[in-house]
A and B are shown apart, each in its own frame.
Chain A
């Protein structure tokens, strides 16, 4: 195979990685019952988004993509602080991290 072919990395490649990370995080959020792992999975979805943003930034030669990564980081940090605080609170109530314990909204 020609060198040029192997060498061509396009935006699509990075978008693919980002999308895979995002979807794996999504699947994890749905399938896992541990509240902390669920939040970890949302962080993984952030990770996919961050990859996508940086890739766009690079390929469109626009720094705003990276700037937004900073905002994403901010949100992730804030979310981690609050969500983990809540998780600890919930854990203190029920003594477990199982999210199904909190399914009182069942119809």
Chain B
């Protein structure tokens, strides 16, 4: 397959979006939107597969595929160009592959909805923006995709625009993302000022050159760029402190949650940091900060997920938590770990969300864990599909999640121990382990609650779509839970389940991804460290001299950490093996605890929960973070805005009104002259002539 086809990848979904928009026009055409959308995502997936080997082998300038010059202002020019390397290809795999599976599922899930075509228009548009994001050759184009996915996220969260909470969630997502995007935009500006270009390949190669230059002195821009970019990544990928939008975003349709808010869009931040890791390395605090925020977010969101009763909320917090893992991974300089986890997470989280969607569908919109139990008889397929997803999420040995999570934890542990070891990374690794326990526990808490135990369920109040023809093979009981049809809903899930179980194994044992990511620009530090000696570059020393010891060790050790020295390598290998054992144990422990508390002995759970009522209450209310933000940010802003509004009403508006009165007053004063009486006009003429004569002849103007 010719490599040029890759240029078509973003445009096919865009075409699909336009066709879907056309489909919106006539009710008869609306049914066509689903297949169009699926095709518009599936064809890019086929292209991705077809050109994979050719694209991965691109070298040097061939990696940049330019379509046309987008804009050129003075010395600043931006191309509509794509940067093709293995990292991009993996992201494309995730976006188009998972995207087409989820879109296929959505064909069944959304059947009979009023905004069917609108939904698929949004999905196709989202894929366009997301592929643009991951393929962008420069930061401006990346920003285009970045904002594009934000827009599509807004549109899709607000899909049920009649529901106030959906609208509020959409707005919340949009506004919180604005905060992050502001940082991102500033970061791009600063990057342009510093590197004089926005091209990703140039920026990263320049950063690598700076890193390898012992005489390079880091500027303050080098320190600030990563933090500004990081802000964007935290906003988009829902990390502390900007994570609050993601749980609310579950107000959108479930396939959207699976596609946008679990598998693809929220990982954009991880992708961006992995892509720009040399730039982040220039600042000694950037990657530790990323790792710390990631670790804290992972644990924090994990604890919240423990006590949520809303099916999708649990998965939402779980997503936040897993994203934290990814950040921990890239923060620990293991972009492979981050991307690997991104890859596997896309499979199993999409699977989990979609099975949750099936449950929700079956129970007519019911999402409350307390209102369902023992559904495995009613929905056996869904039950076991979700089980596969849960295993992967919990990190059950040899599932996908197990390998990727283990990679991250082990890399963090490698950073945290050894001769250059940092306490920070050590603690982060421990936090990761604790999070892994929590993850296993809350995941299986959910699964046992829903599918095990005595059969009991309450239908939701969303009868609207249990009466339509969405349930083609199900005529007998519209008010009973029922299994989803195989096509188009369960088949994609089976594919995802295979991915969730085996993707990790394939990647781990074949090692193709590790190899390709390490050779891509995402991990130039490795290439760098092969050729330079492992002692810290002077650029870091300059900064560390004047700073606290807390960051000193992290700053000094990391170029050394990835060294190719065999002793270090052996130590890392040992830690990997060790971490595998530990995390297997932890996963099994978590699953066991969950089984005990939520399957075998539920009354005991209630007793324990009652005993720790306070804690449960706090966790159930998500640490009151929303309330806290409301109090600290929203309320003062609202008060301020109210004040401004008052000011506007009184002063600005008053001023405008006053200005408006002037012509009215003028009109009012000369209105009587337009009386329609001939004499009045005659008088005006006479006065005019007299005054003109006076001016011309007497004063000789």
Contact = CB atoms under 8 A, between A and B. Distances in A.
A31 B686 contact: no
A24 to B, nearest CB: 12
B674 A103 contact: no
B676 A107 contact: yes
Interface string B365-406: 000000000000000000000000000000000000000000
B682 A29 contact: yes
A30 B686 CA distance: 9
Contact of A106 (B674, B679, B682, B686): B674
A104 interface: yes
B678 A99 contact: yes
A107 B676 CA distance: 7
Given A30-B682, A30-B683, A30-B686, A107 B677 contact: no
A103 B679 CA distance: 10
B675 interface: yes
A26 B686 contact: yes
B665 to A, nearest CB: 16
Contacts, number: 32
Nearest to B672: A107
Interface residues of A, number: 14
Query: Secondary structure at chain B's binding surface: helix, strand, loop or mixed?
Result: helix
Contacts of B682: 26, 29-30
Given A26-B686, A30-B686, A107 B679 contact: no
B671 interface: yes
B686 A104 contact: no
Interface string A76-107: 00000000000000000000000110111111
A33 B686 CA distance: 17
Contact of B674 (A26, A30, A107): A107
Interface string A28-64: 0111010000100000000000000000000000000
B683 A105 contact: no
Contacts of B677: 99-100, 103, 106
Nearest to B670: A107
A103 B686 contact: no
A28 B26 CA distance: 74
B676 A106 contact: yes
Contacts of A100: 677
B676 A104 contact: yes
B685 to A, nearest CB: 9
Interface in B291-323: none
A31 B679 contact: yes
Contacts of A38: 678
Contacts of A107: 671, 674-676
A105 B686 contact: no
B677 to A, nearest CB: 5
A58 to B, nearest CB: 23
A105 B679 contact: no
A31 B686 CA distance: 12
Interface in B666-700: 671, 674-679, 682-683, 686
18 contacts: A26-B682, A29-B679, A29-B682, A30-B683, A30-B686, A38-B678, A99-B678, A99-B679, A100-B677, A103-B675, A103-B677, A104-B676, A105-B676, A106-B674, A106-B677, A107-B674, A107-B675, A107-B676
Interface of A: 26, 29-31, 33, 38, 99-100, 102-107
